[in-house]
């Protein structure tokens, strides 16, 4: 998704539609809005675009700017009508159509997402990113078309057939309990329902392209392979709570959260997660560098991943001891608004990030 959003932003900044409002108050607001988006400050950009739209309501680039600002704050529901209005004004406006596809997919409307990207390719057939994403969405839609649904208050569970109905009911029970437990601790209660998909192992690998050691995935949907996690009730709860916590973190900061912090918070709220992390860290002297922990864990071997998850959880445990969940989530919110990690860390935990890393180093 990051690559697609980068293309959207690049196309928008070069779009002739933006030039239509040159020399006006709306143009000045739009320039400031795009600067804020480019600097990773969508919350500051959104009111600028909103005011510009009130002055120039028929300029699709302003609607796109407001939609992108909302989307980058995790507010897909606010972004969709803005993008639909932009395309009503300019049906071949590729940046708006590209973002609308992403937004519809995030909202669970995969049929509209596919249809929108098919239309993008009719206008801009050279968009390789769109073609790749479209192929993945078609595979996913083909699998999900055969699935049953179990709706709940905050979740909809998709599962393959009647044989998994009891498992789906148990998953729903675990998720609803986790919603209140983790949500209360973090002060986060998402309004939009979340989709949870229970896959066979083969379906999970085909759709997510996850490493072999991955027990589940959150990418806007919670995706769980049935082998292992589903056969073991305790493992099912661990996996679901872990991925649910990722959803909460993304709701506060859709971007800019280093992997170690994201995964550390998720492990911290797992049942027995802190106990597991301490035991895992005690088993080995091996450590993953802070630089490696900041990026994706996908290239790690299974053993490296276990160490990385344990280190991450212990780092978050220390942060919780220093500032509590309120302080940690305030730091996460800062990151989501583009505040550099070192600055946010010192602001919320009252110590430098460098000193924090030094204290985490094991005794020689």
Taking residues 63-68, report their average pLDDT. Answer: 96
* 193 and 312 housed in the same domain: yes
The 3-state DSSP class for residue 1 equals coil
335 and 320 housed in the same domain? yes
The answer on 138 and 173 residing in a single domain is no
For 287-334, write each residue's pLDDT tens digit: 888 888 888 888 888 888 999 999 999 999 999 999 999 999 999 999
Q: Compute how many other C-beta atoms are within 10 angstroms of the C-beta atom of residue 281.
A: 19
Mean pLDDT value of segment 134-149: 92
Tell which residue, 268, 269, 303, 267, has the closest CA to residue 286. Answer: 303
Q: Are residues 109 and 57 in the same domain?
A: yes
Averaged pLDDT for residues 142-152: 89
Mean pLDDT is highest, among 36-40, 208-212, 239-243, for 239-243
Alpha carbon distance 63, 97 (integer Å) = 12
One domain for residues 114 and 20: yes
Query: Residue 200 — very low, low, confident or very high, per pLDDT cuts 50/70/90?
Result: confident
**Residues 250, 354: one domain?**
yes
Span 78-97, pLDDT tens digits: 999 999 999 999 999 999 99
Residue 16 in this model has a pLDDT that exceeds 50: no
Structural Rg of the chain based on CA atoms: 21
pLDDT at site 290: 80
Q: What is the pLDDT of residue 9?
A: 53
Same structural domain, 310 and 172: yes
Using CA atoms, how far apart are residues 311 and 317, in angstroms rounded to an integer? 10
Same domain, 157 and 259: yes
Number of structural domains the chain divides into: 2
Last residue of some domain: 100, 127, 144?
144
The residues facing 156 across adjacent strands are: 151, 195
pTM of the model: 0.82
Regarding predicted confidence, which is higher, 360 or 155? 155
Regarding predicted confidence, which is higher, 364 or 94?
Answer: 94
Q: Are residues 347 and 245 in the same domain?
A: yes
Question: Is 190 in contact with 154 (CB distance < 8 Å)?
Answer: yes
CATH at residue 44? 1.25.40.10
- pLDDT for the residue 173: 93
Per mean pLDDT, which range of 112-126, 189-203, 266-280, 341-355 is the poorest? 189-203
Query: Are both 120 and 161 inside the same structural domain?
Result: no
**Mean pLDDT score of the chain:** 88
Q: Kindly tell me if the per-residue pLDDT of 6 is higher than 50.
A: yes
Sequence-distant (≥ 6) Cβ neighbours of residue 284 within 8 angstroms: 307
Residue among 202, 113, 192, 204 nearest 158 (CA): 204
Comparing 147 with 362, which gets the higher pLDDT? 147
pLDDT of residue 193: 83
Mean predicted confidence (pLDDT) in 141-145: 91
- Among residues 115, 144, 173, the one where a domain terminates is 144
Interior CA angle at 156 toward 204 and 273, to 5°? 65
- In this structure, the answer to whether residues 110 and 174 fall within a common structural domain is no
CATH number of the domain that residue 286 is part of: 1.10.390.10
Buried b (16+ CB within 10 A) or exposed e, 54-71: eebeebbbbbbbbbbbbb
Instruction: Give the span between the Cα atoms of 323 and 281, in whole angstroms.
Output: 23
128 in the same domain as 34: yes
* pLDDT for res 364: 47
Does residue 5 have a pLDDT over 70? no
Q: In 3-state terms, what secondary structure has residue 65? A: helix
Residue 183 Cα distances to 91, 93, 249, 254, 305, angstroms: 40, 39, 10, 17, 26
Q: Which domain holds residue 27?
A: 2-144
pLDDT value at 362 more than 80:
no
Tell me: the pLDDT tens digits for 114-139?
999 999 999 999 888 899 999 999 99
């Amino acid at each position: 998704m990051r690559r697609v959003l980068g293309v959207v932003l690049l196309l928008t900044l070069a779009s002739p539609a933006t030039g239509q409002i040159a020399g006006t108050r709306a143009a000045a607001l739009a320039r400031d809005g795009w600067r804020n988006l480019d600097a990773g400050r969508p919350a500051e950009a959104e009111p600028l675009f909103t005011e510009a739209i009130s002055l120039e309501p028929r300029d699709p680039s302003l609607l796109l700017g407001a939609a992108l600002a909302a989307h980058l704050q995790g507010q897909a529901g606010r972004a969709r009508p803005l993008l639909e209005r932009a395309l009503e004004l300019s049906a071949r406006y590729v940046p708006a159509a590209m973002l609308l596809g992403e937004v519809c997919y995030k909202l669970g409307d995969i049929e509209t997402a596919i249809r929108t990207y098919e239309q993008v390719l009719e206008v801009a057939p050279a968009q390789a990113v769109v073609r790749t994403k479209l192929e993945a969405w078609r595979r996913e839609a083909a699998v999900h078309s055969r699935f049953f649904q179990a709706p709940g208050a905050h979740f909809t569970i998709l599962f393959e057939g009647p044989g998994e109905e009891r498992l789906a009911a148990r998953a729903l029970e675990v998720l609803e309990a986790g919603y209140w437990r983790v949500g209360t601790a973090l002060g986060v209660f998402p309004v939009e329902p979340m989709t949870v998909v229970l896959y066979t192992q083969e379906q999970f690998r085909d759709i997510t392209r996850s490493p072999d050691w991955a027990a589940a995935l959150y990418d806007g949907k919670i995706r769980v392979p049935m082998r292992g996690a589903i056969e073991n009730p305790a493992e099912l709860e661990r996996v679901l709570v872990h991925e649910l916590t990722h959803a909460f973190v993304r709701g506060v900061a859709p971007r800019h959260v280093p992997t170690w912090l994201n995964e550390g918070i998720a492990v911290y709220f797992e049942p027995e997660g802190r106990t597991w992390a301490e035991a895992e860290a005690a088993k080995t002297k091996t450590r993953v560098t802070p630089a490696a922990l900041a990026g994706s864990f996908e290239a790690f071997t299974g053993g490296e991943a276990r160490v990385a998850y344990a280190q991450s959880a212990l780092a978050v445990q220390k942060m919780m001891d220093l500032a509590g969940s309120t302080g940690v989530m305030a730091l996460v919110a800062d990151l989501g608004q583009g505040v550099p990690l070192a600055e946010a860390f010192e602001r919320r935990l009252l110590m430098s990030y460098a000193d924090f890393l030094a204290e985490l180093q094991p005794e020689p």
